[in-house]
A = this chain, B = another copy of it.
Amino acid sequence: MDELEHLLRGRGETTVADVAAALSVSERTVFRDLALLRERGLVIAADSGPGGGIRLDRGRSPHRVLLTLAEVVSLWLAARLSQGATDLPWSGAARTGLAKLLGSLARPRAAELHALCRRVIVGPPASESVRARSAAPEREFLGIFERAFSERCGLRFDYTDQNGRRSHRHIEPHGLLVEPPVWYVLARDIDKGEPRMFRMDRISRAKTVPDARFVADFAVIDAQVPDRGRWHALAAGG
């Protein structure tokens, strides 16, 4: 039983089956020991269903927070941005605080969150001269892209390239490159079948519409997407 406690302290989240195998006892015994540990006052959280498991809840806290996915992402982004800009007071706490926030999310959301965070790339802030002609997309317009990323669906829009030629595009969004104040959508152009970058201020606001026919499988995409260095080079090259 004490071995169980030690094992739980060691690993974060596991299934009862795994623990039973590790201790080479039956699952029934593990459940019995879990009941004993709980009786002893330990807090062991349990999630039913596929992907579930048990984990030791270290220390109950006076601070209880329930955050939605979007809220955590938003805070994550903010912390990330500010970290790049300048060192802030208590900035050491930002890392640990965010880690706790991520850990606090309900299990099925956690994976989703990590995937979501991974597709937003925050670059260094641009120089003052560039910032003047701001190209940050409008809130409402941005909402369409937020939904596309959250729900993994495709997008259609009219695009004006750097030569002034307009075309209708059909993309599968892969990532967002934020290089204030310029925003880029990293995506696969479905018609041309190759990865492209689109400056968001060159996308026609009126005709942008989600296209659920193409659902991005981010797990697959991750294997194909060039690493951030290459995207960055692309961004720099224009």
Contact = CB atoms under 8 A, between A and B. Distances in A.
B61 A74 contact: no
Nearest to A99: B71
Interface residues of A, number: 67
B86 A79 contact: no
B65 A145 contact: no
A168 to B, nearest CB: 24
A62 interface: yes
B62 A63 contact: no
A73 interface: yes
A75 B88 contact: no
Given A45-B62, A105-B63, A106-B63, A70 B93 contact: yes
Given A57-B64, A75-B78, 5 more contacts: A39-B68, A70-B93, A75-B97, A78-B94, A87-B142
26 contacts: A38-B66, A38-B106, A39-B68, A61-B65, A62-B105, A63-B72, A64-B64, A64-B104, A65-B65, A65-B103, A67-B100, A68-B93, A68-B96, A70-B92, A70-B93, A74-B91, A74-B92, A74-B93, A75-B97, A75-B98, A81-B81, A81-B85, A85-B125, A86-B136, A89-B145, A89-B146
